[in-house]
Amino acid sequence: MSFGEISLEDKQSVLSELSEVKSLFASRGWFPGTSGNLSIRVGDFTSEQFDFAITASGKDKSLSTPEDFLFVDQDGKPSELTKLKPSAETLIHCEIYRQTGCGAIFHIHTVFNSLVSELFWERKSIPVDGVELIKAFNIWDEEAHIDIPIVSNFAHIPSIVPEVTERLDPRIPGIMLRKHGIYAWGANAFEAKRHLEAFEFLFEYVYRWELLNRKA
Ligand SMILES: CSCCC(=O)C(=O)COP(=O)(O)O
Ligand SMILES: [Zn+2]
């Protein structure tokens, strides 16, 4: 389905969903210093050609303006004529959509996600053992153990993409960029939000648990 074939109603519904999520996350202080980016896919999800709405780059994400989002295609190029620049990290969104077939991707920088990514950088994944909120990822085993992948953070975003491709774990709907932030995704915005909230809870839990054990 080409971008022109997608109804105005569908496009507007995606934009209003993004706007709601953006305001909510901003109220939680999840976009410090203009960091973070959000996207939701529109139209046909089975096609190799797809479009998604994404936050414009460098904006104060605690404000709502008519220039907050734009639509881009599967290569991260604007789908329509616009003066807006897509997020600097759009290529990471493109790759996650391509690899997972998900419908929404949310990225935030927090102190806890950055801290744990450095704490566990040598093992290249953040271990979580038996915490109830693992179930938010639809992993229902009792005492489940998960490892959340951590990849290198480079200023040159295209250099991050191959490592993302290599480290994506189909069980885990998220990936950490070292000392940078988490990317969480889901079939839709509701699921991506649930996953993101679970990751953030688990990061704080893991950090505090580590601290308690190191003191003992
Ligand atoms: C100011 S934070 C550095 C860029 C970044 O990591 C980020 O998430 C925001 O970049 P964007 O281009 O999406 O505004
Ligand atoms: Zn970022």
Q: Note the pLDDT tens digit of each residue in 85-124.
A: 999 999 999 999 999 999 999 999 999 999 999 999 999 9
Q: What is the DSSP letter of 132?
A: G
The residue whose CB lies within 8 Å of the most ligand 1 atoms, and thus the one to mutate among 68, 89, 106, 111, is: 89
Q: Which ligand places an atom closest to the C-alpha of 61?
A: 1
CATH topology of domain 3-215: L-fuculose-1-phosphate Aldolase (3.40.225)
- Look up the pTM and report it: 0.98
Q: Is the ipTM of this complex over 0.90?
A: yes
Residue 105's SS3 state is strand
